[in-house]
Structure 1
Amino acid sequence: MSGETGVRLPRLMVAAPASGQGKTTVATGLMAALRAAGHEVSGHKAGPDYIDPGYHALATGRPGRNLDPHLVGERRVAPLLLHGAAGADIAVIEGVMGLHDGRLGTDGFASSAHVATLTRTPVVLVMDVAGQSRSVGAVAAGMAAYDPGVHVAGVVLNRAGSARNTAEIERSLERAGLPVLGVVPRDDRLSAPSRHLGLVPAAERDDPARLIARLGERLARYLDLDALLAAARAAPDLGTEEPWEPGREVVAAGDRRPVVAVAGGRAFTFRYAETEELLTAAGCAVVTFDPLTDTELPAGTRGIYLGGGFPEVYAADLAANGALLHDLRTAVRRGIPTVAECAGLLYLAASLDGAEMAGVLPTATAMTDRLTLRYAVATAAADSLVTRAGERVTGHEFHRTQATPAAGTVPAWRIDGEATGFASATCHASYLHVHWAGHPRLAQRFADAVHAAAPHAAARHVTPRPAAVPHAPSEPVPDPLRHHGDRETGPGLIDFAVNVYDGGRPEWLDRALRRSLDRVADYPDPAPARAAVAERHGRHGDEVLPTAGAAEAFTLVARLRDWQRPVVVHPQFTEPHAALEQAGHHVTPVLCRPDRGFRLDPADVPEEADLVVIGNPTNPTGVLHPAEVVRGLRRAWRLVVVDEAFMDAVPGERESLAGERLAGVAVIRSLTKHWSIPGVRAGYVVADPGVIRELAAHQPPWSVSTTAVDATVAACSAAAASEGRDRARALVRWRDYLADGLRERGFEVIASSAPFVLARLGDGTHPLLRARGIAVRRADTFPGLGSDWVRVAARPPERTRRLFAALDAPLPPPVAAVAAP
């Protein structure tokens, strides 16, 4: 740019007659091609969309920017363009929807044409010409003539076919007086994948920079870059417009630079670049953290900003990062100023599609079939962290989830008479996305609150010093693979070792067990159990095999074939490993590493493995592996066995494969723990009919007792479904109370989706707790774990407080050393 106010800016808008014409592909490819040719390019997007600017940023090496008159007001559009394009040779603006499509009922307000008029930017029309010829010229001529204030500089033909047809289209455009600035052939490789809210964000793509570079290389061959540059350089001056400056909108409340933790990574990709610039100008230090991988908020956090994204896609992974959820929950509840928009609201909710979130907001959220997509004018419902009652702001909503505030909560906004969101003096959360450049007072109030806040002190997840106790360490066990939690219990011990639901049996199950005694004179018939399981999971009867608990199922799998390379993913329940060894197989362990939160890296599984056994959620880590990861283990020559013994303790049973017909996958379930009947060996396998027939051929006759059959039928009933959901929710509360208490005491706790947690309490703690009347499950008998780890079952809080008291009691003095004679 040149001139005293920087008003000379070569620029183009890439627009189209309608959505789906290829605007993003052409605009992003043009930016990449111009950059590769040595130009400094600034990328912009008309409208509120966050995803396209992410691709623009990769193509240009600069932040992607939005230009939206609804969000920021007409007078700020040209200044924001100049601000974003500072130092650039050329600006490329990608349009939104069709050229003249704007906010409904406003005669095109906030349309691409409106933005082009406000910025006096020439327009290049991208037209998908597949299946057309001369009609292209007619449509383009109409678009160019519709609004005299919009200058259409030329056309790019997208998805062009034969040379003969393309020549016909070019003649029609010549007649309309519109030059052809590029001809892009049909090529599915030039399209970008979509999702329920549009394109997949660039941050979620594998190697997105390379993809954009290839796109630029291909588009450079099909676009007339010289002609496009000439059109951009012909753009008129912007008169007396001056660049927008964040320092003129906000002021710093002090000299120090308090940390604002901003959510980023794959799950949180939506935020405007100007938001961070305003916070920086207001004296804050913006530090990005990744809710998928970071275990605590950035050091010194005094404010939290949770923007938009796709948390519903990563719900299981977000829920699995319990350490960060605990830290975030603690920070928000302690009053750290927090702003959450859309995805941020979901993350602060109690749950998302059944996955446990931070639990700060009193609402459960879930995906729906209804898309909410609107420009909104919102009125602040009350004084809050960033608003004052009665203030009006403009924003947009774009989501398929629903959150219903609990009665008595203070809403953040009223939109079209409807109360929405949550607001308090320290937290503001709603679905509404607000561009703070258009409403800088919100940024100022948030920054002022951050300056006034005390820093959040995160609980460090460190291993405590080994307990110096006068007790001998736990004795080694002769057969670690067969050491179970029931060996840890005993008279006078409070049981945190056995993973049986601590709540007794429901009456309907007791009735079924008692009725079974009336038929024990007859040989058992597993048919009713098979039918009940098939109905529960939507399977056919020949896809189900009732078993005497999961233990029999593992034995049947071990004897099923002459396995050449059986793999067991560890640490996990050891019975499958023991069964395979007993059947004469040599087992290859695949260890999940603690530095990855004990999550499986599929690349660690040997390609030649013909059997892979994995727990989900895994015992003893409690890790819930994404279903897509487990599905990805399938091979034509391989059987994947998924131990879902604790899946019924996961609300919504998310990531379960029991209801999916997948060749080469067998799912094993146990009913004994969730329904408090370990003495009744009841379980089953679901798999394709061929595998079920093979397993049944190895099963002894009548191995499933009449009592187990009746228990299985009862556990698959409607009453069981209702009771099971209640039990799962109770276990989540108990487990979170347990995990939070252990973390507050400085112990490392692995994020769990099971009714137990794996905690690193330190060497010597297991016998110390036993001496204090507490039984926990030693973990050194699980491959991959040592004596500093223990597994602790979730119990009601009143019982868990007994465990905390035992941990909090003073350590006994060390044993005095005895000199050798």
Structure 2
Amino acid sequence: MVAAPSSGQGKTTVATGLMAALRSAGHEVSGHKVGPDYIDPGYHALATGRPGRNLDPHLVGEERVAPLLLHGAEGADVAVIEGVMGLHDGRLGTDGFASSAHVATVTRTPVVLVMDVAGQSRSVAAVALGMAAYAPEVHVAGVVLNRVGSARNTAEIERSLERAGLPVVGALPRDDRLATPSRHLGLVPVAERDDPARLIAHLGERVARHLDLDALLSIARAAPDLDAAPWRPGREVVAVGAFGQRRPVVAMAGGRAFTFRYAETEELLTAAGCAVVTFDPLTDTALPPDTRGIYLGGGFPEVYAADLAANRALLHDVRAAVSRGIPTVAECAGLLYLSASLDGAEMAGVLPTEAAMTDRLTLRYPVATAAADSLVTRAGERVTGHEFHRTLTSPMAGATPAWHIDGEATGFASPTCHAAYLHVHWAGHPGLAQRFADAVHAATPHVTAAPPAARPPDPGDGGQVRDPLRHHGDRETGPGLIDFAVNVYDGGRPEWLERALRRSLERVADYPDPAPARAALAERHGRRRGEVLPTAGAAEAFTLVARLRAWRRPVVVHPQFTEPHVALEQAGHHVTSVLCRPEHGFGLDPADVPEDADLVVIGNPTNPTGVLHPAELVHGLRRAWRLVVVDEAFMDAVPDEKESLVRERLAGVAVIRSLTKHWSIPGVRAGHVVAEPEVIRALAALQPPWSVSTTAVDAMVATCSAAAAAEGRDRARALARWRGHLEEGLGRRGFDVVASAAPFVLARLGEGAHPMLRAHGIAVRRADTFPGLGGDWVRVAARPADRTRRLFAALDAVGPAARTATP
């Protein structure tokens, strides 16, 4: 055993290096660790090429320690045990129970002390002698000096130890390259290191050079035989299932975020007739095929929260599996992964709790009592375990707790799911493994939902849509095509706007100042300047909103302009989509919006349906904990801006406007947000300096003038006429048309109409890239009558085929 007077002396460095050095010398080595720690055994496994094992009397019972040592060391020439804390430090109040000395005693293992001697000389011998004499049943057989300095001081220490009867079996010089990085819960796990093999190799080389391996092997050979039989998982659990039957799959989380689990857990499940298959929640998009059980162990999901949240496909699959009753055990990190959110990043959402990092370390070694019958426990059953975390979860109202610990109810338990912070070593409580395996055998295999069907090829987009949420109307146009795909007003720009744009070029040598735009926009909307923020188009506004808070459950009402959805996903959020359905005229049913949504984005009028939601409906979406974002990009096209909220001072409501379409300036990114002053201040704090160009500022000022108001009303009336002509003609030809208040209409022309129209020189906007719509829908921009007649002529030419394809 490699032990020490205290933590921080270099036990892990020496023990791991010794394992690597002995293996390099041709020995088969097994690595073991006193205590519950998962991280050090990971380094041991890399050094030995065998699973790292834990020896913990508290977790498994004193009587199982020696059998587990023999099990782990089977076939090895030498076993190296790394101690925990100081040699005699154990569970508080128990006279050293579960200490390194306790394990050394029950396994009859000689001890080598590692001592950091930096800044010391003869006092090292006094400490070592005291450690050796404190408990005569513990055989301290030698000392390794760590971080030695000058040869003269090292010789002084060695002489003093020889006088104390303690041989020095090695002296490691200081080497900063041997430092192992740590963070909030100790060392960084080996699975997260960039090049752990190189570190292990260096440790092995240093130990081989500076420690007496022959002397250490002689100490190991002097250990007496143990009168115990090796632990056997097959004696602890009963195999379920008939001979030759296909083993049910238990999906066990692994990878960089889930590194904490005991090797015996997998061995017990395998002995019980299960097939354990590891999956990585960071990279795998689905659970393993035929999964019938899920085991989510410990790790560092808080370090990888954003990456875990970004893997939406797997989160959905896990949520579906657990929700439909696939037996699931989740310990600590697993509990966080099944929660609604972790530090604001959306997790699987299976458990009604939110988790967050805190400054407080929870470290305890308790006896826990099962609160109720559950997947793996029976009410009143007592187990030993450990907790080690810096996160906390919010109360799970109405849920059955997993455990009672020190009078506190903790965790979550049901007949199919058991989740808690408590880590339990199943070798010490094999009944838990048996019950889990029994449930796995009885479960129906989980079937991962099929991905959405591939979209039809689009001749206007190179034959395919690579990312539907990023597909915009400008991708549909091209040489020789009449443009009904882009929503830009088809009438040119007024002269006063042209002059303003040209004048802006005279000041492009200066950095832009958005203040005039803010003042003009505030006056136009009847708001205070502190309630308006000019932005580089609506797209920047959506990006700022996405970064505004750690949204727990952001909702986007679809079909909708997809930019808000994309911005939220780019910010690391998982988006909940609420669909407005064609059978209800694409109107929103407020009851479909989840009550716990803290962000709701809705278009008004909506792109691509053109539906204008009543202002009262939007009012009804407000909650004290929620921000409602209303995208009024096409409100300029609504006569008198009916149903707009831009002039209302409503708590929890932000309105986003864009000038690009109504004023035919999509190349000038000009938009703005109108909201409460505190929301505007928070958004402004996230906005990059000078993001709004001088040209955009001048465009905003110009379009707030009296001349612009008159011209804007004229444009709205013109659009209404064009749209009416378009709707009437489509309806007369038998196509379904959604009643629109926007400068476009959504029409159901049938599958195949989109490419057929392109073949006749007409570009319309495919609608199957909007969530909730299929390939039979297209969006058609309102255009002057002469152009619309050419659309009708093309429809008449392909109409029979299109109408035949219409469901």
For normalisation by structure 2, the TM-score amounts to: 0.65
3-state SS of paired residue (1:108)? coil
2:214 is the alignment partner of 1:267 = no
Give the aligned residue type for 2:274: C
2:61 is the alignment partner of 1:73 = yes
Indicate the residue corresponding to 1:335 in structure 2.
Answer: 325
2:113 is the alignment partner of 1:166 = no
User: How far apart, in 1, do the equivalents of 2:300 and 2:385 lie?
Assistant: 19
1:520 deviates by 3.9
Indicate the residue corresponding to 2:182 in structure 1.
Answer: 194
2:119 is the alignment partner of 1:121 = no
Give the aligned residue type for 2:79: A
Which of 656, 660, 666 matches 1:677?
656
2:436 is the alignment partner of 1:446 = yes
Which of 157, 167, 170 matches 1:179?
167
Indicate the residue corresponding to 2:85 in structure 1.
Answer: 97
User: How far apart, in 2, do the equivalents of 1:813 and 1:374 lie?
Assistant: 75
2:238 is the alignment partner of 1:251 = yes
1:461 deviates by 2.3
| Aligned residue runs from structure 1 range 313-712, under 5 A | 313-461=303-451, 463-464=453-454, 466=456, 476-478=476-478, 487=487, 520=523, 547-550=534-537, 619=566, 622-624=569-571, 675-679=654-658, 681-682=671-672, 692=689
Structure 1 residues 320 and 814 mapped into 2: Cα distance closer, same or farther (>3 Å)? farther
Q: Is the 8 A contact 1:553 1:685 kept in 2?
A: no
Q: Which residues of structure 2 form unaligned runs of 5+?
A: 465-472, 491-517, 544-561, 574-596, 600-629, 634-652, 660-670, 674-682, 705-744, 759-764, 779-798
| Aligned residue runs from structure 1 range 777-792, under 5 A | 791-792=769-770
User: How far apart, in 2, do the equivalents of 1:618 and 1:123 lie?
Assistant: 60
Structure 1 residues 461 and 133 mapped into 2: Cα distance closer, same or farther (>3 Å)? same
Indicate the residue corresponding to 1:666 in structure 2.
Answer: none
Which of 12, 16, 25 matches 2:13?
25
1:814 deviates by 7.5
1:371 deviates by 0.6
2:221 is the alignment partner of 1:203 = no
3-state SS of paired residue (2:141)? strand
Deviations 1:698-741 (A, max 9, x none): 67876775999xxxxxxxxxxxxxxxxxxxxxxxxxxxxxxxxx
User: How far apart, in 2, do the equivalents of 1:15 and 1:707 lie?
Assistant: 77
User: How far apart, in 1, do the equivalents of 2:307 and 2:43 lie?
Assistant: 24
Structure 1 residues 325 and 133 mapped into 2: Cα distance closer, same or farther (>3 Å)? same
Which of 38, 48, 52 matches 1:50?
38
3-state SS of paired residue (2:336)? helix
1:487 deviates by 3.0
1:404 deviates by 2.9
Give the aligned residue type for 2:217: L
1:468 deviates by 12
Give the aligned residue type for 1:243: P
Give the aligned residue type for 1:428: H
Indicate the residue corresponding to 1:580 in structure 2.
Answer: none
User: How far apart, in 2, do the equivalents of 1:299 and 1:270 lie?
Assistant: 23
1:815 deviates by 7.1
1:164 deviates by 1.2
Structure 1 residues 488 and 804 mapped into 2: Cα distance closer, same or farther (>3 Å)? farther
User: How far apart, in 2, do the equivalents of 1:813 and 1:130 lie?
Assistant: 90
Structure 1 residues 219 and 616 mapped into 2: Cα distance closer, same or farther (>3 Å)? farther
Structure 1 residues 519 and 259 mapped into 2: Cα distance closer, same or farther (>3 Å)? closer
Give the aligned residue type for 2:34: A
3-state SS of paired residue (1:137)? helix
User: How far apart, in 2, do the equivalents of 1:698 and 1:426 lie?
Assistant: 61
Give the aligned residue type for 1:234: A
Structure with larger RCO (C-alpha < 8 A, sep 6+): 1
2:244 is the alignment partner of 1:276 = no
User: How far apart, in 2, do the equivalents of 1:804 and 1:128 lie?
Assistant: 71
3-state SS of paired residue (1:682)? strand
3-state SS of paired residue (2:152)? helix
3-state SS of paired residue (1:373)? strand
Structure 1 residues 700 and 487 mapped into 2: Cα distance closer, same or farther (>3 Å)? closer
Q: Is the 8 A contact 2:67 2:231 kept in 1?
A: yes
3-state SS of paired residue (1:145)? helix
1:135 deviates by 0.9
1:460 deviates by 2.7
1:208 deviates by 1.4
User: How far apart, in 1, do the equivalents of 2:342 and 2:35 lie?
Assistant: 28
Deviations 1:15-40 (A, max 9, x none): 11111111111111110111011000
3-state SS of paired residue (1:228)? helix
Deviations 1:762-814 (A, max 9, x none): xxxxx9985479xx9xxx9xxxxxx9996546xxxxxx6x889989xxxx997
Give the aligned residue type for 1:149: E
User: How far apart, in 2, do the equivalents of 1:768 and 1:353 lie?
Assistant: 40
1:677 deviates by 2.0
Structure 1 residues 396 and 38 mapped into 2: Cα distance closer, same or farther (>3 Å)? same
1:165 deviates by 1.2
- The percent of aligned pairs where both chains have the same amino acid is 70
Q: Is the 8 A contact 1:184 1:222 kept in 2?
A: yes
Q: Is the 8 A contact 1:44 1:65 kept in 2?
A: yes
1:623 deviates by 3.6
3-state SS of paired residue (2:569)? coil
Cα RMSD after superposing both structures: 4.4
Q: Return the index of the structure with the highest Cα Rg.
A: 2
Structure 1 residues 387 and 686 mapped into 2: Cα distance closer, same or farther (>3 Å)? closer
User: How far apart, in 2, do the equivalents of 1:47 and 1:479 lie?
Assistant: 72
User: How far apart, in 1, do the equivalents of 2:770 and 2:567 lie?
Assistant: 9
1:337 deviates by 0.5
| Aligned residue runs from structure 1 range 265-304, under 5 A | 265-304=255-294
User: How far apart, in 1, do the equivalents of 2:268 and 2:136 lie?
Assistant: 36
User: How far apart, in 2, do the equivalents of 1:489 and 1:331 lie?
Assistant: 49
User: How far apart, in 2, do the equivalents of 1:465 and 1:170 lie?
Assistant: 76
Structure 1 residues 521 and 202 mapped into 2: Cα distance closer, same or farther (>3 Å)? closer
3-state SS of paired residue (1:209)? helix
1:458 deviates by 0.9
1:437 deviates by 0.3
User: How far apart, in 2, do the equivalents of 1:114 and 1:617 lie?
Assistant: 60
Give the aligned residue type for 2:322: V
Indicate the residue corresponding to 1:783 in structure 2.
Answer: none
User: How far apart, in 1, do the equivalents of 2:693 and 2:458 lie?
Assistant: 54
Q: Which residues of structure 1 form unaligned runs of 5+?
A: 1-12, 491-514, 533-545, 555-571, 574-614, 627-648, 652-669, 709-766, 781-786, 794-799
1:676 deviates by 2.9
3-state SS of paired residue (1:460)? coil
User: How far apart, in 2, do the equivalents of 1:167 and 1:265 lie?
Assistant: 46
Give the aligned residue type for 2:276: V
1:207 deviates by 2.2
Q: Is the 8 A contact 1:548 1:703 kept in 2?
A: no
2:99 is the alignment partner of 1:111 = yes
3-state SS of paired residue (1:101)? coil
1:518 deviates by 11
Structure 1 residues 617 and 228 mapped into 2: Cα distance closer, same or farther (>3 Å)? farther
User: How far apart, in 2, do the equivalents of 1:62 and 1:44 lie?
Assistant: 10
Structure 1 residues 136 and 445 mapped into 2: Cα distance closer, same or farther (>3 Å)? same
Structure 1 residues 419 and 525 mapped into 2: Cα distance closer, same or farther (>3 Å)? closer
1:178 deviates by 0.7
User: How far apart, in 1, do the equivalents of 2:99 and 2:319 lie?
Assistant: 40
User: How far apart, in 1, do the equivalents of 2:776 and 2:411 lie?
Assistant: 39
1:686 deviates by 6.7
